[in-house]
Every structure is written in C-alpha cells, then in structure tokens.
Amino acid sequence: MHPTRRLLVVALATLAIAGPAVAQEYPTKPVRILVPYPPGGASDVTARILADKLSKRWGGKPVFVENKAGANGVIGTETIARADPDGHTIGLVASSHVTNHALLKKVPYELSDMVPVTITAQVQLGLVVNPAVPANNVRELIAYAKANPNKLAVATSGRGSNPQLWALAFQQMTGTQMIDVPYKGSATAHPDLLAGQTQVMFDAVAAVMPHVKAGKLRLLAVGGAKRSPFLPDTPTIQEAGVP
C-alpha cells in the first residue's frame, strides 16, 4: 500500500510574468492559503505552519488560512481555481486533487487552472481502531473482521479520499467487509471514532497521534514499506502480510 499522502501547494498564476518590479514587491496584500478540508487535519496543520513561516519570511506581512471543506476537496479547490490570478491565493491540496478527476463524473475546474508550486509534505498514514475493537495488531483485526462481516464501520475523510481508497484496498486485499462511513474530512470523523460509533480508520499519523497517546485510539500499524522513524516500534501494514 502506498506509503504516503502527498500534499501539494498550488497557486493561481505567478507574478513572474508581471515583471521584476512587481515580483520584488510581492506580496502586495494579505496572502490566503485556502485549505479545501476541515480544520484539524494534516492539510490544515501543514497550512498553518506554512503560513507562519511565510509571514516571517515576508517581513511580517499577513498570511492567513481559510478552510472551505466539502465534496472531497472539490468545493474549496474550485474557489482556488476561480480566485484572482495575482498569486495571493494559494491552495494546499492532498492527493484527492488528482484522483477526483479520475473518480468523479464532473469536476468544475481543470488541473491546468492552477500552477503547481511545491510538495510540502509526505504524510504517512496509520491504521487506528477504537479501543473497544478486540484487536491489538493487523492480523487480529483481519481475523475479527472476517468473523464479523460488516460489523465494523470504517470512517473515511470523504468519497474518493486517500483514506477511503486505502480502506477499500485493505478490504479487497484481506477479504474483509466493513461499513464505509464518509465524512467531510478526517478531523470531522474523529469524534464518532472516539465515541465508538465507527471503529476503524486510516488517517495521517500526525492527526491521530494525540488520541493514541491519550489512550483513546489504538494504532495498529503504519503504511509504507518502512516503519516511521518517529514510531520505530509500530509495525507496517506490509509486515502483517498486506502488500
């Protein structure tokens, strides 16, 4: 299973075409980093770190984060695509920015409407369960899910999101069946997961670790071919035999 979710910063147009004089003055007004996902998720956290660093680099000029969630990022990304092409609207998007075009019948913008700037982060996903689930590792989760088809509900951050694609792939590879419960983003899915209304989730490790450390979620494994350098004692999903 793919090890990371890549976050890509995209901006509408650049000021390079406006001439050296204008480019040197940039930014000439507050810069908006638009995140097409709810507050509290990995994309939002990354955007707020980025906003602080950019503001300091630009001599204290204001850089603010705006969240506009919905439709697996489509609503917010359309706002990015329709913003004034002056370089003052920056979007921070995840892999769904690309997969939406393959999974949805219609997307109200083209990828070419935006200019890619840089990859900001590679986010490792983790497999977490509510502590009430009788599984302490991936093999035990698979065995329980096989013995109890559609008893477990897996929370995802939206239709076509990377966590949902991971959940579907995991079930297909392991011959398990779980109920798919999509939300508008990972942070909005957490309350039900913590309350036990849903029981399983694939999400960015950084987003779930506060709950794991508090004992409210159990981290079974991380994605990718290698263990996380920050969690060397946590196995990968591949180590449980799920490629």
pLDDT in tens, 25-40: 889 999 999 999 888 8
Strand-pair category, 179-182 with 153-156: parallel
**Residue 136, class by beta-carbon neighbours within 10 Å (0-12 exposed, 13-18 middle, 19+ buried)?**
exposed
Q: How far apart are CA 13 and CA 87, in angstroms?
A: 6
CB atoms within 10 A of CB 134: 11
CB 91 within 8 A of CB 82: no
Q: How far apart are CA 27 and CA 23, in angstroms?
A: 8
Q: What is the DSSP string of 50-95?
A: HHHHHHHHTTT--EEEEE---GGGHHHHHHHHHS-SSS-EEEEE-T
Least confident of 77-91, 108-122, 131-145: 108-122
- Cα–Cα nearest to 83, from 24, 152, 137, 11: 11
This prediction has a pTM of 0.79
Q: What is the pLDDT of residue 100?
A: 86
Q: What is the pLDDT of residue 9?
A: 52
